């Protein structure tokens, strides 16, 4: 695409700025593939520019101070892009690996783990949470859509209280199930992202046996 764009601009640009569109291709290669693919893209782009857009086209006119300076500047620019792109890709990979570890940890927690946005839509629920709610079709849905009306109303009241107080709260919730009543104990806490959007996190434990013993 970069080569085609430079060819389309050739009637207006001529031999000037022969590499102008190729830097974008090098950046894309660095972003998606890292330093190695970026350097390959830079090398291919240099050969293409020398053959097609630098005067005395079809040759490799490296003689002369101007051509040497141009080649050095292009090489340094490409190396900088490749280095930065490789560093960003490595950082992104580490972030993704960390997120995967965290999600695996949350998924295997024996307690129900929930995350909802300020409007009450579920963004995350682990397997224990799915077992507690009896639902797997939770993504983007609210308590009103997933649970009996009186239970959903109580949960939403708890969520709003946590957001209004901007502090963690502890709640017990009585739920009816086919095997009898259950008591769920939840630690709820407010969260806020970098953009200032608010969320409610919850860690929920089934304390039915404990309450019965008490």
> pLDDT digits over 112-131, tens only?
999 999 999 999 999 999 99
| Cα atoms in the Cβ-side hemisphere of radius 13 Å centred on 119 | 6
Q: Which residue has the tokens 């292009």?
A: 74
Residue 132 pLDDT > 70: yes
pLDDT at position 179: 53
Given a contact cutoff of 8 angstroms between Cβ atoms, the answer to whether 111 and 201 are in contact is no
148: left (phi over 0), alpha (psi -120 to 50) or beta: beta
Given a contact cutoff of 8 angstroms between Cβ atoms, the answer to whether 154 and 191 are in contact is no
């Amino acid at each position: 695409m970069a080569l085609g764009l430079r060819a389309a601009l050739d009637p207006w640009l001529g031999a000037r700025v022969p590499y102008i569109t190729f830097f974008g291709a090098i950046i894309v290669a660095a972003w998606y593939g890292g330093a190695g693919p970026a350097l390959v893209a830079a090398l291919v782009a240099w050969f293409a520019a020398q053959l097609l857009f630098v005067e005395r086209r079809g040759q490799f006119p490296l003689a002369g101070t101007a051509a040497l300076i141009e080649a050095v500047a292009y090489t340094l620019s490409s190396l900088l892009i490749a280095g930065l792109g490789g560093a960003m890709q490595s950082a992104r990979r580490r972030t993704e690996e960390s997120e995967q570890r965290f999600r695996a940890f949350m998924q295997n927690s024996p307690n129900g783990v929930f995350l909802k946005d300020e409007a009450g839509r579920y963004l995350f629920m682990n397997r224990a949470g799915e077992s507690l709610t009896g639902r797997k079709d939770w993504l983007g849905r609210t308590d009103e859509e997933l649970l009996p009306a009186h239970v959903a109303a109580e949960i939403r009241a708890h969520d709003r209280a946590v957001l209004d107080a901007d502090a963690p709260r502890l709640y017990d919730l009585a739920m009816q199930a086919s095997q009898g009543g259950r008591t769920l104990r939840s630690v709820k806490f407010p969260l806020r992202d970098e953009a200032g959007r608010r969320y409610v996190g919850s860690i929920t434990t089934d304390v039915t046996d404990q309450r019965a013993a008490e």
